[in-house]
Each structure stands twice: as structure tokens, then as C-alpha cells.
Amino acid sequence: MKKLRVGVFGAGRGADIAGNFMMLGCEIVAICDFHKERREDAAKRLGGIAQYEDFDSFIEHGMDAVIMANFFHEHAPYTIKCFEKGIHVFGECISNGTMAEGVELIKAFEKSNSVYMLAENYPQMIFNREMKRVCDSGTLGKILYAEGEYNHPGDPKDVWFNKTYVYFEKHWRNFLPRTYYITHSLGPVMRASGATPKRVTAFASFAPFDDDLPSARYVGDKVAIVTTQNDDGSVFRITGCAAFGAHHNAYRICGTKGQIENLRGMGPKVMLRYNGWEKPEGANEVELYEPKWNDKDEELIIKSGHGGGDYLTARMFVECVREGKQPEHPFDIYSAVNMSSVAILAHRSMLEGGKPYDIPDFREEKWCKMYENDRLTPFYGTDGSEPTLPCCSVTDFAPTETQIKLYRELLGIK
């Protein structure tokens, strides 16, 4: 079988993802990144592959697919260029940074023959795979409610993190609203339940750190609590990237007959519970257990990052490309744009005191007309464009002069 030729756009996370494609027998042929030192280091780690600074030249190299792992909010324009050339796309994080890009992305996709897959890995963590299995069994009854929490507090004194992940003042992480990094919370519950959000509302908790620590972050919110009403009548309560309490990835699915959840701080363990009068024959009312992979590639999965999710998502994508099919919900492009819309409109809801927003479906022209010129963004662009939307619930919040000074000293910025 001919090897799948894969290019990498984004030398940080992209190079990590590429390792999983290599385990799947793919050929990594080229890498593109504007940051010379990072690009050269990644190219060396990936076997001395070709390097590019310019994306247009990069996609002329000769490749079947691109790992889209550039800046969080800037995937859509490059994904569209891939669609126009029939190149398949494995897209990290949200698919579009603005609502207008969502319109453009769907229209370009529908004119192409490319496979697009959202590289959302958390649904493939072992406890989330088990939740989907149980939901698919039907024993929980009709799914009514689900929770998803991606809670990732970080030490503000972590010098390595700033130097590695927030390495210039206008970096997107310094302006990331708490609702935007949403796919790790939303993807798993969409996958388990099969539901798609149709309406959203959100509220934030503001609690900036006030110590004299190096920081250029303009977001003082610690968490945004996002609620969605879904196409099947169910409700989700989710976070974006939160920073409250202790670190955890927590999920719970509740039906009319029972519920399943993973337990915070207890690794891969799940708790499955039924009402006594509705439990399946032979089942216990309460079961606490560690699920098994039951997968032919278990050894490779265990070697992979993000609890095995990195390998499994890459495998799904390779299978889709080889079979000429689009991935299933919630990894397909319509789900990806739906999640991006939840992220963007939840932030607007939060800025407007919890105002509900309907989630558009850009397969319908009425929604395209509504949002085709909507380019509001809380981020700086790499082209120098400035934010057009506040990134924090306290809209005039900013780091102190001392924090900025220490941050610049840390990074060697004059």
C-alpha cells in the first residue's frame, strides 16, 4: 500500500502529532513554521525533512494531507487553501477563529474532495471511550444531561511554560477567552451522547492573580461555565479551558435510567450507576471499575500522548483518507464548525450577561447570510491586525506594568 505523505504546519504541537502518523506508517515529508529555531529542531526530530517558512510553497511540496497545528485561531485560511488543492486536513483545536471563517470553511469544503477531521483527542481517552460504549448500549435510557470539564490550572511561576508556549507578548494564549478552548470539554460529551448543540449561554468567574509575577495575560477569568441546549433536547454543562480547584478532566453522562462518570483524581476509573428498579438484568446498581482498551493497537496507544488519544485520532484520520470517507460525528467538519461556534458565541453570551445565542448551521443559507461578514475576534493576528472584541469578562482588565516588565525580562524582550 502506498504510504500517505503528510506535511506538518506548526512545529510545536504539529511535530508531536507527526510522531503518531509515523507509527501508522505514514511518511512525514515537510514542515512549515515561521519560527526558524523551532522549525529546524522539529525537522531534525522528524528525520531531516524539508523545511518551509511560506505556507503556499509548503503545500506545493507534494503531500496527501496536512497536520494543521499552527496558531489556535488561524486554521481556517490555511485549511481552505488545502481544500482548493485537494489536500486532506487533520485540524488541531477549533476549526475557525471567527464566524465568517466558519461560513467560508463550509463552503470551501463542499466544493472540495478533501477529507477533513477535527483532531480532537479527548473523546478517545479510555474513560470517554467507555462512556460512549455504555451510552451506545442503551442501558442509560434517553440521555438528558452531560458535563464536560477540561480543568487545567497552571503555575504562574512556571518559567518553562511561558518560554515554550507564550513566547511573545501578543501570543494568542495571552488573549484566550475562557470559552474558546472548548473541544476537550465538548467533544467527549458530543461523542458519547450523539447530540449537537443548538443554543448556548455562558457566565464567567473573574479572579486574576495579583502577585508581581511575569505575565502578559489580558484574561483575568478563571473559568467560563457554558450551557448548551442540544438538538435532541438534552443539556450540556461544559467549560472551555478552566483553571479552578485541582487539575482534572471530568465527564458525566446522565440518562433516564442511569449515569456514568469518571472520577476526579482517580485516573481512568469510571462509576456506572443505575436506579434499582431500572438496572439491566445481572447488573449492579453501582459499579466502580477501570475500563479496558480492547484494541489491537493497545501497545501503540499506551505509548501515545493524551491518554492514547493522539494515536487513535491519527488512526481514524488515516483510515478515513484510505477509505475515501469523512469521519463521523463529532470529528467531521460540520461538528468542528459547530464547536467553534459554541466557543465564539458563548464568549459573546458571557460578555452580555448570559444572553442566549442560537448556534448556526452553515449548510443553510440563512445562517451564512447572518454571519458571512462577522470577523469579530479577541486575538491579534500574525498579520498585525488587532483584536476587535474584549477577551475578558472585565473588559478593561490588563496585567500590571510590573507583570509586563517581568514577562519581558523573562523572555529577553526589550
- Claim to verify: residue 275 and residue 127 sit in the same structural domain: yes
- Claim to verify: residue 51 and residue 148 sit in the same structural domain: no
What type of residue sits at position 268? P
Q: Is 197 helix (H, G, I), strand (E, B) or coil?
A: strand
- Claim to verify: residue 317 and residue 341 sit in the same structural domain: no
Q: Is 139 helix (H, G, I), strand (E, B) or coil?
A: coil
Structural domain harbouring 35: 5-121+313-323
Supply the CATH number for residue 230's domain. 3.30.360.10
Q: What angle is formed at CA 263 by the lines to CA 262 and CA 266, rounded to 5 degrees?
A: 115
Report the share of the chain in percent with pLDDT over 70.
100
- Looking up cell 514542515 gives 31
For residues 26 and 318, the answer to whether their CB atoms sit within 8 Å is yes
Kind of pairing between the strands at 258-262 and 197-206: unpaired
Number of domains into which the chain is organized: 2
Give the number of other CB atoms < 10 A from CB of residue 172. Answer: 19
> What is the rounded distance in angstroms from the CA atom of residue 250 to the CA atom of residue 263?
7
- Claim to verify: residue 361 and residue 216 sit in the same structural domain: yes
Q: Would you say how long the chain is, in residues?
A: 414
For residue 403, the surrounding DSSP H or E stretch is helix 401-411
> What is the rounded distance in angstroms from the CA atom of residue 117 to the CA atom of residue 107?
16
Is there a domain that residue 20 lies in? Answer: yes
- Claim to verify: residue 350 and residue 363 sit in the same structural domain: yes
Q: Is 317 helix (H, G, I), strand (E, B) or coil?
A: helix
For residues 112 and 134, the answer to whether their CB atoms sit within 8 Å is no
- Claim to verify: residue 96 and residue 133 sit in the same structural domain: no
The pLDDT value recorded for residue 49 is 97
- Claim to verify: residue 189 and residue 61 sit in the same structural domain: no
Sign of the Cα torsion 164, 75, 58, 3 reads positive
For residues 226 and 240, the answer to whether their CB atoms sit within 8 Å is yes
What are the beta bridge partners of residue 32?
A: 9, 52
- Claim to verify: residue 111 and residue 126 sit in the same structural domain: no
Set of cell numbers at residue 353: 450577561
Q: Render 32-101 in DSSP notation, one character per residue.
A: E-S-HHHHHHHHHHTTS-EEES-HHHHTTS--SEEEE-S-TT--HHHHHHHHHTT-EEEE-S-S-SSHHH
For residue 157, the surrounding DSSP H or E stretch is none
- Looking up cell 449515569 gives 259
The pLDDT value recorded for residue 384 is 87
Is there a domain that residue 32 lies in? Answer: yes
Q: Is 224 helix (H, G, I), strand (E, B) or coil?
A: strand
What residues of the chain score a pLDDT lower than 70? none
- Claim to verify: residue 204 and residue 185 sit in the same structural domain: yes
